[in-house]
């Protein structure tokens, strides 16, 4: 039996893990949520009494899934009976692939459209509507159990957007394709129409864990709920998150209430909480706690508890001086306070602000490097067959990467098997050995990957050009990757074609992180510098829940910081014909004694 002592987990964490029934866990920032999830999964895996049962863990991102698996394996627990990934991956593997035959739309096969292909298709469909300034961004949508919901905040565009979407769905059907939202929609239809499938799934999983529940959509709750209802208690639920960090409302995400969850699952569910913040100083916690909408308890108890944090707010600096001010804060943090550059994060509400800001920071502060989630120069479409092959190509074989690379090798072999390609007498370790034997002296990242893919295919006697699925994915991978490289070059990122730049994606963060507020969730830094905190951006000008959304965004921003927090509402940023943006009202109205940065 997997065990631990009180130096590894506190009593709140232990109580949540040992709860034998269903758990609804509200975890404040920095409370060890990921550690708790990791130990819960390890504990449940070690408690399984049959090899016919699985533990399912549904995470918001694949990166979170990788981190949890790495931690479990470091604990020495076998993950063979763990399934972990996003809800889309869960639906593909456990519902659509085995049961799509029950839907006429999917019965003859389907392919998940590549994100680059999707954008190109929308661009072509939007072209006749250029006069209305409709772009692929306006065509984003999500599905609920009742149908399609538009994400476009400009209601005047909705009739045209609906016409474009009708053409889009017609094109997908003609090409035998579905997108990520249709994965959820068709999975839901299968479960609704076939109770036996719901029951079968409920018998497979002893426990279903859901991470970041506050970002879950209605149709996702419905899918999970239908499986748990069918199990009538045989499959248990462990749901964890923080309702104060529910910042994906525009995409349909929301924090479900406990009573609604009980009604949906028809299960008795025990509420628990993690209230101890091990990340931030008492001053930082006291600051972001003022944006706490749901009244959750937060207590600073970690090694930074007594740190004399500086929390500053600058609402007078003009936009023309913004880059110089951010560079000054960075230099002060590293040169005066001795904080590592890798422990500094620069935030803004949208990527459109960060692209120009990053270019100028590189020029103004050339002694630093800057990293960001949007800096990957190759396609990171997890449903593309060649993505895990690229991961194997770009990571160096070391003891610390062995388990992760072994998983990727398994994913490649599994994907080949699904399209009818069986590599006889080649297991994961042998496949990895083939990958490690390839040595290519090519400085260009895309050329390197092409050569690696061809070399590996030759080693395992695979002619991917003979398989339509693999060839389509190969074309899509390189088209999307080239588009990413060209975008980075347009944004002034130097050396984005180099193989060294490609490899950086898998290396430990070494530079200053640049990210949106949404993109930084789950991360933590000694110093957080946030700019463009302006009404109309935080919150978005079309957000019907403006004040509440602004508080959540500021809560997420503040709770990323361990030691120092610098907030900026610059002046002089134009808002089209409406003059200049003003500072975020919720921030301006917070009567706080800020310090000098």
CATH number at 198 reads 3.40.50.300
pLDDT of 214 higher than 70: yes
Whether residue 328 is preceded by a cis peptide bond, meaning omega within 30 degrees of 0, is: no
Reported as a pLDDT band with limits 50, 70 and 90, residue 359 is confident
Examine residue 594 and state whether it is found in any structural domain, yes or no: no
Burial of 240 (0-12, 13-18, 19+ CB in 10 A): buried
Tokens 């640049």 identify what position? 514
Q: If you average pLDDT over every residue of the chain, what do you get?
A: 93
Q: Which residues contact 418 (CB under 8 A, 6 or more apart)?
A: 97
Examine residue 354 and state whether it is found in any structural domain, yes or no: yes
Is the distance from CB of 214 to CB of 221 less than 8 angstroms?
no
DSSP-derived pairing of the beta strands 177-178 and 111-112: parallel
Examine residue 74 and state whether it is found in any structural domain, yes or no: yes
Q: Pick the residue with more confidence: 425 or 397?
A: 397
Whether residues 559 and 581 fall in one domain: yes
Whether residues 74 and 215 fall in one domain: yes
Whether residues 524 and 572 fall in one domain: yes
Whether residues 231 and 315 fall in one domain: no
Examine residue 419 and state whether it is found in any structural domain, yes or no: yes
Reported as a pLDDT band with limits 50, 70 and 90, residue 517 is very high
Examine residue 180 and state whether it is found in any structural domain, yes or no: no
Among 467, 487, 504, identify where a domain stops.
504
Whether residues 229 and 307 fall in one domain: no
The domain total for the chain is: 4
Mean pLDDT for the stretch of residues 546-566: 96
Distance separating alpha carbons of residues 226 and 237, to the nearest angstrom: 12
Highest mean pLDDT among 329-343, 361-375, 399-413: 329-343
Tokens 């930084």 identify what position? 520
Whether residues 485 and 518 fall in one domain: no
Is the distance from CB of 68 to CB of 84 less than 8 angstroms?
yes
Query: Which tens digit of pLDDT belongs to each residue from 439-484?
Result: 999 999 999 999 999 999 999 999 999 998 899 899 989 998 998 8
Query: Which tens digit of pLDDT belongs to each residue from 365-408?
Result: 989 988 765 667 887 777 789 999 999 999 999 988 888 898 89
Is the distance from CB of 319 to CB of 531 less than 8 angstroms?
no
Tokens of 437: 């034997």
DSSP letters, 442-475, are --BHHHHHHHHHHHHHHHTT--GGG-HHHHHHHH
Among 274, 307, 335, identify where a domain stops.
274
Whether residues 336 and 193 fall in one domain: no
- 96-100, 122-126, 153-157 — which is least confidently predicted? 153-157
Query: Which tens digit of pLDDT belongs to each residue from 222-246?
Result: 999 999 999 999 999 999 999 999 9
Whether residues 91 and 195 fall in one domain: yes
Query: Which tens digit of pLDDT belongs to each residue from 472-510?
Result: 899 989 998 998 898 888 766 778 899 998 998 787 767
Candidates 343, 283, 319, 331; CA nearest to 531 is 319
Among 146, 174, 202, identify where a domain stops.
174
Question: What is the residue range of 70's domain?
Answer: 11-96+187-274
- Classify residue 561 by its DSSP letter: E
Reported as a pLDDT band with limits 50, 70 and 90, residue 117 is confident
Whether residues 72 and 212 fall in one domain: yes
Whether residues 421 and 453 fall in one domain: yes
Q: Which residues contact 590 (CB under 8 A, 6 or more apart)?
A: 290
Distance separating alpha carbons of residues 109 and 111, to the nearest angstrom: 7
Q: Distances from the Cα of 145 to the Cαs of 149, 183, 231, 338, 423, in angstroms?
A: 10, 13, 21, 52, 41
Q: Which residues contact 373 (CB under 8 A, 6 or more apart)?
A: 515, 519
Whether residues 203 and 220 fall in one domain: yes
Examine residue 481 and state whether it is found in any structural domain, yes or no: yes
Mean pLDDT for the stretch of residues 298-317: 97
Q: What are phi and psi of 564, to 5 degrees?
A: -125, 145
Q: Pick the residue with more confidence: 576 or 491?
A: 576
Return the pLDDT at 106.
96
Whether residues 248 and 355 fall in one domain: no
Is the distance from CB of 476 to CB of 488 less than 8 angstroms?
no
Q: What is the CA radius of gyration of the chain?
A: 24
Q: How many CA atoms lie within 13 A of 202 on its CB side?
A: 22
- 79-93, 105-119, 132-146, 163-177 — which is least confidently predicted? 105-119
DSSP-derived pairing of the beta strands 561-568 and 525-530: parallel
Of the chain, the percentage scoring pLDDT greater than 90 comes to 75
Examine residue 376 and state whether it is found in any structural domain, yes or no: no
pLDDT of 36 higher than 60: yes
Examine residue 461 and state whether it is found in any structural domain, yes or no: yes
């Amino acid at each position: 039996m997997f065990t631990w002592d009180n130096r590894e987990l506190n009593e709140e964490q232990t109580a949540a893990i040992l709860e034998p029934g269903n758990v609804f866990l509200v975890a404040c920032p920095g409370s060890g949520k990921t550690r708790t999830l990791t130990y819960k999964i390890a504990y449940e895996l070690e408690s399984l009494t049959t090899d016919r049962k699985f533990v399912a863990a549904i995470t918001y991102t694949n990166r979170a899934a990788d981190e949890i698996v790495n931690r479990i394996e470091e604990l020495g627990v076998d993950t063979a009976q763990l399934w972990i990934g996003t809800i889309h991956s869960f639906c593909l593997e456990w519902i659509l692939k085995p049961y799509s035959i029950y839907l006429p739309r999917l019965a003859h096969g389907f392919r998940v459209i590549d994100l680059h292909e999707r954008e190109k298709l929308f661009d072509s469909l939007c072209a006749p509507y250029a006069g209305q300034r409709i772009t692929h961004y306006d065509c984003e949508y999500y599905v609920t159990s009742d149908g399609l919901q538009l994400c476009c905040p400009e209601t005047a565009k909705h009739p045209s957007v609906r016409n474009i979407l009708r053409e889009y769905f017609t094109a997908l059907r003609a090409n035998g394709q579905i997108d990520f939202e249709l994965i959820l929609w068709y999975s839901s239809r299968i479960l609704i129409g076939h109770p036996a499938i719901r029951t079968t799934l409920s018998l497979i999983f002893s426990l279903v864990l859901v991470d970041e529940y506050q970002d879950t959509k209605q149709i996702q709750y419905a899918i999970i709920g239908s499986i748990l209802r069918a199990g009538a208690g045989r499959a248990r639920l462990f749901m964890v998150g923080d309702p104060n960090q529910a910042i994906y409302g525009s995409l349909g995400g929301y924090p479900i209430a406990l009573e609604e969850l009980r009604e949906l699952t028809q299960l008795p569910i025990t509420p628990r909480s993690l209230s101890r913040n091990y990340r931030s100083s008492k001053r930082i916690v006291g600051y972001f706690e003022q944006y706490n909408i749901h009244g959750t308890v937060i207590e600073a108890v970690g090694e930074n508890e007594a740190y004399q944090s500086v929390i500053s707010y600058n609402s007078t600096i003009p936009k023309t001086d913004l880059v110089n001010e951010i560079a000054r804060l960075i230099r002060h943090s590293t040169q005066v306070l001795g904080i590592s550059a890798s422990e500094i994060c620069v935030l803004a509400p949208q990527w459109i602000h960060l692209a120009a800001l990053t270019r100028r920071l590189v020029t103004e502060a050339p002694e630093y490097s800057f990293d960001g989630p949007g800096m990957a120069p190759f396609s990171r479409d997890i449903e593309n067959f060649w993505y895990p092959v690229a991961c194997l190509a770009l990571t160096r074989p070391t003891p610390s990467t062995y388990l992760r690379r072994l998983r990727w090798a398994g994913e490649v072999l599994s994907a080949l098997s699904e399209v009818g390609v069986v590599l006889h007498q080649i297991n994961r370790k042998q496949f990895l050995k083939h990958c490690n034997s390839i040595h290519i002296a090519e400085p260009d990242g895309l050329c390197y990957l092409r050569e690696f893919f061809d070399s590996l295919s030759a080693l395992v006697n695979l002619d991917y050009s003979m398989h339509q699925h693999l060839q389509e994915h190969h074309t899509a991978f390189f088209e999307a990757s080239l588009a990413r490289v060209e975008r980075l070059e347009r944004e002034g990122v130097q050396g984005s074609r180099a193989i060294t730049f490609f490899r950086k994606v898998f290396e430990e963060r070494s530079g200053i992180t640049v990210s949106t507020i949404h993109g930084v969730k789950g991360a933590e830094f000694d110093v957080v510098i946030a700019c463009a905190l302006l009404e109309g951006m935080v919150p978005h000008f079309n957000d019907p829940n403006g004040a509440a959304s602004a508080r959540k965004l500021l809560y997420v921003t503040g709770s990323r910081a361990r030691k120092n927090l610098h907030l900026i509402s610059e002046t002089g940023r134009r808002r089209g014909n409406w003059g200049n943006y003003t500072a975020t009202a919720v921030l301006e109205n917070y009567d706080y004694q800020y310090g000098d940065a």
